[in-house]
Amino acid sequence: MTILLFCSLSLFAGTMADRYWLMRAGESDNRNDRFSDRMKALMSIGFGQKRLLYEPGAGWMHVGIFAGFLVVSLRTITLLGRGYDPHFNLPFFDGPLGLIYAVVKDSFALIILLALIFALYRRLFVKPERLHLSGEANFIIIWIASLIASDLLGDAAALRLNPASHEHGFAWLSTLLSGMFASSETDQVQIWSNVMFWFHNIAVLAFLNFLPFGKHFHVLTALPAVFLRRLTPGGVLEKMEFEGRESFGVGKIEDFSWRRILDMYTCTECGRCTEMCPAYVTGKPLSPRSIIVNERDQAYHLADHLTAVGKLKGAGKTAVASTLIEGQDRPALIGEVNDEEAIWACTTCGYCQTHCPVMIDHIPNIVDQRRHLVMMEAKVPGILQNALKGLENNSNPWNVAAAGREDWIGDLEVPRMRDKGQADYLLFVGCAGSYDSRNVDVMKALCQLLNEAGVDYAVLGTEEGCCGDPARRVGHEYLFQMQAPQNITTFQKYKVGKVVTACPHCFNMIANEYPDFGLENVDVIHHSELLSELVDQGKLKLKGGEKTKVTFHDSCYLGRHNDIYEAPRKVLSGIGGIEQVEMDRNRREGFCCGAGGGRMFMEEDIGTRINHNRIDEAANTGADEVCTACPFCLTMLGDAIKETDRSEKLRARDIAEVMLENLE
C-alpha cells in the first residue's frame, strides 16, 4: 500500500504542479474577496448542484453521481487505511454512525450504478445532439461503475467471511450480494475479497491520475472554480485598466487571466451552453462550448511553453516571460483557434453562462477577444463602423446630431433636470428612446404615465449621452471609458439618487458597471418595476379592454442578467381583458431577440435571423400581441413581424404603450 500510494500520489502531484504552472502563465486576477459569498455559492452551486436541479433526466443523473461520489469517497479512504490495518475505520464509525453510513453508502452505490446505466444508455442509444459522443466518456462510465461494483463485491465477500459483522444487514446491498458466495469455499471467498480490495484501490488511484488528462478534469476543478467565480451579475464586464499596458484584450492564451484558464480545465463539454445559444441555433459559427474547448486544446498544445512562462511569472521574472511569449510560434487565437465570425456572432444573451454547471464565463472571454480585434488590430465589421463613429462624434450609435437628443419630446410635458435642478427620479431616456422613431412612442407613453401618476421626475435632455453599452459589448473599451464618466459627472452634478430607464441595457450599465467608474449611492430601477409599483400604490388605475391574447418576451439584459421577470408580467396581468400566454422558451430559458452584444448595429447574413426564430415562437402561441420591456427587443420583434408577413395578425408593443391604452 505504501508503494502504491507513493507512486500514484507522486505522479499526481507532478501532473498537478504542471497544470498549476500552466495556469500561472495567465494574467493575475484577484479572487480573494467576499469569502462568505463565495462559500454560499460553493454550497449551493458546487455541493448543492443547484444549476443541474433545473434539468430533469441528465441533470438529476449527474446530481446522483456527484452526491454518491461524496458518500462513497469515505469508503475509499477506509479501504486505503485497511491496507495498513484490516480493522481500520474512520473516527466514530465503529458505532451507530458507522451503521447509518453503511445504509447510506449502499443506497448511494445503487443510485450511482443506475445513473451510470442511464448515462450509457443516453450515449449509446438516445445520442443527444449537444453531447460529444466520445469513446473516452463511455470508458469513464464503465471505469466508475467498476469502482462501485468492486467495493460492493468486496464488501459482500467480507460479510460472507464474517457473518457476525455489525454491518450485516445495514450494508443492505452488500448483504444481498453476499448470497453469491453461499456455496463457495472460504479460501475462494478470501481470494475474491483480496482481489476486489486491490482492484478497487488501484483503480481509484489510477482514475485520480487519469483525470487531469481529459475532460473529466472537472471532477477536481469544479468546486474550486465555483468558489473562485465572479460574484458580479453575469452580464457585467470587468473594468480594463489602460495605464501601463501595451496590449489590450486577449490575442493569445497568456492574455487570459489564470481564472479563465481554470475555466478551460473545468469545461465538462456537456453542451448545455451551446444547446440554446441563439447564434448556434440559427446557424452561426458560434458554439460557446467550442470556444472554451478550442482554447483548452491550444493551451495543452503549448503546455511546455506555458509551464515555463508560468514559472517565470511566479519567480517575478516578467520581462523574461514576455520575451518568451513573444518568441513563441503558434496559430492565431482569433482566426485559427477560434473562428473570427464566431467571436462577432455572440449576442451576449447569457444563456451559456446561466446554464453552465461549473460557472464558466463565456461572455467576458468572447468580449476580451473582441477588444483585441477592435483596439489592437482595428478589425471591425464594416457595418459597425458607422455606429462607432456615431458614438464617438455624437454619443449615439444612430449617428444623429447630439443636439437633437431631446427633439423627441416635442410638445409633451417633460421636465428637464437643468430647469428643475433636482428630482426624485432621473428618467434616463437612452439612445433608442431619443432617436429611434418606434421607441420614441414608448418614451412618450412612459412620460404620460409618470405625469398621470404625479411622479417627480426629470430628463437630462441634451446633457445625456449614450450609456456606453454598444461600445463596450463590441470591444471598444476605450470609447466606452470616454462616455461613462461624462454621464456619471452629470449625475453627480444634479445629486441624482434614483434612476429609472426603459432600456435594460442602460439599466444594466448604470446599475452594475458604472459603480466601477465612481458612481455611488444611486438606485437604478427599470420602468417595468416602477410602473408595477405605481399600480400597487393606486396611482395608476387600469381598466379592462377588448379581450386580447398577449405573450411576453423576456429581454436578456432584464431577465437573465438582472433577474427581473415578474414585474412586466404583473403590469400586464393588471389589465382586464388581457390573457397572458407563455412561449415555450420563457424567463430563465428565454430566447434572445438577436440585438444584444452590439448586434443591434450589425447585419445577420449567416443562417436564419434570430428575431425570425423568436417571432415564429411568439406566433405559435396564438397571441395577438408580443409585448416586451426593451427598446432593442421591440425593434427586432417589430422588424421580424414585417419581414415574416405577420403584420395583420400580430403586433409588438412595449408594456408602457399597453398600459397607457388601458389607463382608467
What is the rounded radius of gyration, in angstroms, for the C-alpha atoms of the chain?
Answer: 29
- Judged against a pLDDT cut of 90, whether residue 129 lies above it is answered with no
What number is the average pLDDT over the span 265-281? 93
Both 454 and 521 in one domain: the answer is yes
Both 345 and 493 in one domain: the answer is no
State the pLDDT at residue 133: 78
Angle at 565 between CA 560 and CA 566, to 5 degrees: 165
Q: Classify residue 226: in a domain, yes or no.
A: no
Both 504 and 611 in one domain: the answer is no
CATH number of the domain enclosing 571: 3.40.50
Model confidence, pTM: 0.91
Both 458 and 587 in one domain: the answer is no
Both 523 and 580 in one domain: the answer is no
Both 545 and 527 in one domain: the answer is no
428 three-class SS: strand
> Distance of CA 316 to CAs 148, 174, 243, 321, 559, Å?
46, 55, 20, 9, 44
User: What total of structural domains would you count in the chain?
Assistant: 4
| In contact, 477 and 248? CB cutoff 8 Å | yes
Both 85 and 112 in one domain: the answer is yes
Both 506 and 601 in one domain: the answer is no
State how far the Cα of 255 lies from the Cα of 428, in Å rounded to an integer: 36
- Cell representation of residue 622: 396564438
Both 605 and 471 in one domain: the answer is no
Q: Which of 221, 245, 262 is the last residue of a domain?
A: 221
State how far the Cα of 608 lies from the Cα of 590, in Å rounded to an integer: 18
Looking at every residue in the chain, the average pLDDT score rounds to 93
pLDDT in tens, 335-378: 999 999 999 999 999 999 999 999 999 999 999 999 999 999 99
pLDDT in tens, 59-103: 889 899 999 989 999 999 999 999 999 889 899 888 899 899 999
- Give 532's pLDDT tier (boundaries 50, 70, 90): very high
State how far the Cα of 82 lies from the Cα of 59, in Å rounded to an integer: 35
Orientation of helix 631-643 relative to helix 437-453, angle to 10° = 130
- Judged against a pLDDT cut of 80, whether residue 544 lies above it is answered with no
Return the number of other C-beta atoms located less than 10 Å from residue 391's C-beta: 26
What number is the average pLDDT over the span 433-452? 96
State the pLDDT at residue 566: 95
pLDDT in tens, 572-619: 998 888 999 999 999 999 999 999 999 999 989 899 999 999 999 999
Both 564 and 498 in one domain: the answer is no
| In contact, 274 and 352? CB cutoff 8 Å | yes
> Distance of CA 221 to CAs 5, 169, 215, 263, 479, Å?
22, 37, 11, 9, 37
State how far the Cα of 295 lies from the Cα of 290, in Å rounded to an integer: 8
- Give 234's pLDDT tier (boundaries 50, 70, 90): confident
Beta bridge partners of 334: 338
pLDDT in tens, 154-213: 999 998 988 878 888 888 999 999 888 888 888 999 999 999 999 999 999 999 999 999
Both 487 and 543 in one domain: the answer is no
Looking from the CA of 396 toward its CB, the CA atoms found within 13 Å total: 22
Fill in the amino acid letter for 18. Answer: D
- Judged against a pLDDT cut of 80, whether residue 132 lies above it is answered with no
State the pLDDT at residue 576: 85
- Cell representation of residue 385: 463602423
